[in-house]
Copies of this chain bind each other. A is one copy, B any other.
Amino acid sequence: MDASVPAIVINRLPLYLRALDLMVENDQRLTSSQELAEWLGISSAQIRKDLSHFGEFGKQGTGYEVPFLRDQLRSILNVDQLWDMAVVGAGALGHALVNYGGFAHRSFRVRAVFDVDPDKIGQSINGMAIESQTVMVERLQTMEIKIALLAVPVRAAQHVADLLVKGGVRAILSYAPITITVPNGIQLAYIDPVVALQSMTYYLTPVVT
């Protein structure tokens, strides 16, 4: 981890990795910053500049070797290992996250699910028993889980985030539509569908009603 690399550069690396993963799946051996630019809608100069923070990956005239650059990015992003995650909130969203097919093969797996509802605790999702939030801090520590997906109602989000940090979690991905505060050094990101929707409505013709 190089703290001098701007966060906005780091945020683009997973997009490069996703494109490269697809190329590897299609047995593509070589790519270029121009091709990546076309796939991703980011300028080729920006892509070359972003990658140059981490070394010299391309060869003049031949471009990038796809499997090599993919492996380098996996290593830079620390996803050349499997990360265990906890899901907090066993409602509809929690169920969807436990069953999500996009984690497998992309270095993440859900290993624990917590909720406060006595009716849910003990039931299972995809073979995993829902555990009580009262044992969460201890369980997170024992299982050494460092990443959590926050799928609780807005009113509970900050309190649960505090508990997660207490349990040793270092990165929280929150689905709750509310701003959360975490101590320095704890990573926090939000899944906000409205941000994605508003980028698209820009291109739509307003509806006259």
* A residues apposed to B, CB below 8 Å: 1, 6-8, 10-11, 13-15, 17-18, 22, 41-42, 76-79, 81, 83, 85, 91-93, 95-97, 99-103, 106-108, 144, 146-147, 149, 151, 153-154, 170-171, 173, 177, 179, 187-204, 206-207, 209
Contacts and interface: CB of A to CB of B under 8 A. Distances in A.
A interface secondary structure, majority? mixed
Contacts of A83: 197, 201, 207
A171 B200 contact: yes
Nearest to A208: B81
11 contacts: A7-B41, A11-B199, A14-B195, A77-B202, A79-B198, A92-B96, A100-B177, A101-B154, A107-B194, A171-B204, A189-B200
A184 B192 CA distance: 25
Contact of A170 (B22, B85, B149, B204): B204
B81 A202 contact: no
A136 to B, nearest CB: 19
A173 B200 contact: yes
A84 B193 CA distance: 14
Given A1-B203, A14-B199, A79-B201, 14 more contacts: A18-B192, A18-B195, A22-B179, A78-B206, A92-B95, A93-B93, A108-B197, A171-B200, A171-B204, A173-B193, A173-B200, A189-B199, A189-B200, A191-B196
